[in-house]
Amino acid sequence: MAVNQYQMAWQGATGVAKALWDDENLYVLIQVSDTQLDKSSANVWEQDSVEIFIDENNAKTTFYQDDDGQYRVNFDNETSFNPVGIAAGFISAANVSGTNYTIEARIPFKSITPANEVKIGFDVQVNDAKDGARQSVAAWNDTTGNGYQDPSVFGVLTLTGKPGNPGGNNPGGGNDGNGTNNNSSSNSNSGSNGAGSPSEITVSADGVATIKPGVKVVNGHALGTISSDTLNQALKQATSVVSGKKQIVIEMTSTPTGVHSYEVQLPSHSLRGQEAFALVLKTKSGILHIPSNMLSNVTVNTEQVSIHIETDTVVELNSVDRERIGSRPVIHLKLTAGDRVIAWSNPKAPVTVEIPYTSTAGELAHQIVAWYIDSDGRISPIPNSQYNASSGAVVFQTTHFGTYAVAYVSHSFGDLASVPWAAQAIQHMAARDVVEGVARTVSLLRRPSPEPTSLRFW
């Protein structure tokens, strides 16, 4: 099996893989051709190494099940596993010859009974490192780089060659890949859209680079992945500079109806502030303006992080707050690294959020606001939220993720007739709890009587 399908623009180390099997194990040999060997990075995936991916039941799920695993071995025979529990029974050996090396591995079958014509999900990957960074990735089948979390992109290995001796334990041959090296875009789950297709980069006349990633849609969840190489290419091609930063747009708006959740995977190092640029994520559920230092105060030990925009439903709200939201949009924003949710909050890197909304007849723009809703259903008006009629969106800045809603808050005050020039500004601030009405007889109450007659600033 030729390991020469590149996931990045740089074409570096390649390999040749062979496989054998018996009643208990899969045996894999990988010969790697390289120009130099480097394991100086603390990140194991950024060292010269090979990775073997196994999906024993070949279910082609888009997430890891108990029978799925990722096995990594570097040229010094140092191993790592995803998930960690699959290490039991794994044995490997490494042999270095100049700048080339060979890896042999024994992987025990855990959930299937191997036999002739049994098909398993399988892939091999070669990581090529230089100066502490991964510069190239070559694979037998997957060109998306998603194999560490998505078995649907694996190829298919057919077990053959075992003699017809039911009591024997002689190894059989694995298919060499001819005719079974299936492209991930044709083996994705039903309901997928564009799975495994490469990202498209275009540059507008004003120099803004737009990335349209291949988007996979499964059960209403749209997933797009931006590789380091794709992002670097976009940054090189972008020429527009606003406030000293290049503009990169990730567009995920061409999705079918029924999508209620968007996820974009980004290289984690790109959001640590090492390079100044402005990232705009566009979906049908919302738009995020993400600074490149978003993760400057967060420790992330994964290659990629995911930013999620999900449409949400309002629960556990009192009747007044529920009515003020009505049928207006509610979204949930979150950041994940692998299967871990990161409670992101960074005062030095505010994210600008745009929630699509078209005002209805009778609604005044200055009384349309954004609310933050905590896990207990308590609401906090966002003072900087504004309704932009021209773009049809409620816009605000936030330094933390969570649940946000569009609401309509209308207050009337008995003493505004004497200051008509200030009425709209006061109503704008009152809708955001910057000012509140107070009764004349109880001027210190935070929550006044239902019919306030004057104002108090907070």
Max mean pLDDT among 64-68, 394-398, 439-443 falls in 394-398
Q: Which residue has the higher pLDDT, 435 or 137?
A: 137
When pLDDT is averaged across residues 70-87 and rounded to a whole number, the result is 95
Q: Would you place residue 176 in the very low, low, confident or very high pLDDT band (cuts 50, 70, 90)?
A: very low
Picking from 170-174, 209-213, 422-426, which range would have the lowest pLDDT averaged per residue? 170-174
pTM (predicted TM-score): 0.56
Q: What does the pLDDT look like over 287-317, one tens digit per residue?
A: 999 999 999 998 888 888 999 999 976 667 8
Q: What does the pLDDT look like over 226-271, one tens digit per residue?
A: 988 889 899 999 987 767 789 999 999 988 888 999 999 999 989 9
- What is residue 434's predicted lDDT score, i.e. its pLDDT? 61
Max mean pLDDT among 2-16, 154-168, 314-328 falls in 2-16
- What is residue 410's predicted lDDT score, i.e. its pLDDT? 79
Percent of the chain whose pLDDT exceeds 70: 82
SS3 for the chain is CEECEECCCCCCCEEEEEEEECCCEEEEEEEEECCCCCCCCCCHHHCCEEEEEEECCCCCCCCCCCCEEEEEEECCCCEEEECHHHHCCCEEEEEEECCEEEEEEEEECCCCCCCCCCEEEEEEEEEEEECCEEEEEEECCCCCCCCCCCHHHCEEEEEECCCCCCCCCCCEEECCCCCCCCCHHHCCCCCCCCCCCCCEEEECCCCCEEEECCEEEECCEEEEECCHHHHHHHHHHCCCEECCEEEEEEECCCCCCCCCEEEEEEEHHHHCCCCCEEEEEECCCCEEEEECCCCCCCCCCCCEEEEEEEECCCCCCCHHHHHHHCCCCEEEEEEEECCEEECCECCCCCEEEEEECCCCCCCCHHHEEEEEECCCCCEEECCCCEEECCCCEEEEEECECCEEEEEECCCCCCCCCCCHHHHHHHHHHHHCCCEEEEECCECCCCCCCCCCCEEEEC
Max mean pLDDT among 179-183, 233-237, 411-415 falls in 233-237
Q: Would you place residue 223 in the very low, low, confident or very high pLDDT band (cuts 50, 70, 90)?
A: very high
- What is residue 228's predicted lDDT score, i.e. its pLDDT? 86
- pLDDT of residue 171 exceeding 80, the answer is no
